[in-house]
Amino acid sequence: MSTDQSPKILDTGANGGEELIRFENVTKRFGKATVLDGLDFQVGRGKHVTLIGPSGSGKTTILRLLMTLLKPDEGRIKVNGDYLTHEERGGKLVPAREKHVREVRKNIGMVFQQFNLFPNMKVLRNITEAPVTVLGMSKDEAEQRGKELLDLVGLGDRCDAYPTQLSGGQQQRVAIARALAMRPQVLLLDEVTSALDPELVAGVLDVLRDVAHSTDITMLCVTHEMNFARDISDQVLMFDEGKVIESGPPEKMFSDPDLDRTREFLSAIL
């Protein structure tokens, strides 16, 4: 399969680097509503890309497509060299079977708005469960790594707590550790602080800044926290009505965007 880049693919900062994610002409509809409209973009390995834009512009849909919680109606999505949506059979690209999807999907971790921890499992077990059952990691190794990750998110002393015994901010930090435990190449962050009390937001963003600055993980982030976006992003994509209408490095996008639409959006939320 050729990996030639068609000129219309929006380069989100992979110049000179290796492409990790690629959307090719992706369309997603819900009923009669076209939520993503022939979307093309790519993200380079190790890059941090923030998606901004008004509510309903399709940002979360992009993350959900990558998590295979949704399927595109048209187009293809590639992750780490393999199509998520298609597989090669008999020299042809055909819709991917479940087994193929599961393999490609192992590259991707996601943190949701609503933490989604397993309520009946202690914190450490929340983190070790998937590495053991999905990756086949030994329990000892998973626990050792789980403890390291809990240290990283500042919760090394809460291994034996249940999620409900933690604050929302602490639960979200566990969810970040849980996603990292799968050693994903890509981390998707969907408005991860929007369900938190304001005083808990900074702790979660600090952890994510650490992850962004101290790992080589590729991040795709939907957020309204523009200072955070400015700190961690290599590239910011502005969405409107299912399309990327403008993109650029954060210094440019937040200070001097080209489009009035971007300027209006930013002035409404900043």
Binding site for ligand ADP (CB under 6 A): 30, 35, 53, 55-61
Min separation Cβ 133 and ligand ADP, Å: 27
The tokens describing 87, both together, are 């597989």
Least CB distance to ligand ADP at residue 79 (A): 19
Considering beta carbons, is residue 66 or 155 the nearer one to ligand ADP? 66
Of 168, 169, 220, residue with least CA distance to 43 = 220
Kindly tell me which of 41 and 152 has the beta carbon lying closer to ligand ADP. 41
In the complex with ligand ADP, the residue whose CB is nearer, 57 or 171, is: 57
Q: How far is the CB of 28 from ligand ADP (least distance, A)?
A: 8
CB of 63 to ligand ADP, least distance (A): 8
* Phi, psi of 95, rounded to the nearest 5 degrees: -55, 140
Which of 58, 169 has the CB closer to ligand ADP?
58
Is residue 161 within 8 A of residue 194, CB to CB? The reply is no
Instruction: Taking the CA atoms of 267, 199, 184 and 231 in sequence, report the sign of the dihedral they define.
Output: positive
Q: What are phi and psi of 98, to 5 degrees?
A: -55, -40
> What burial class does residue 48 get, using C-beta atoms within 10 Å of its C-beta: 0-12 exposed, 13-18 middle, 19+ buried?
buried
Nearer to ligand ADP, 24 or 240 (CB): 240
Using alpha carbons, select from 189, 225, 240, 185 the residue that is nearest to residue 54. 240
Rounded least distance, CB 242 to ligand ADP, Å? 7
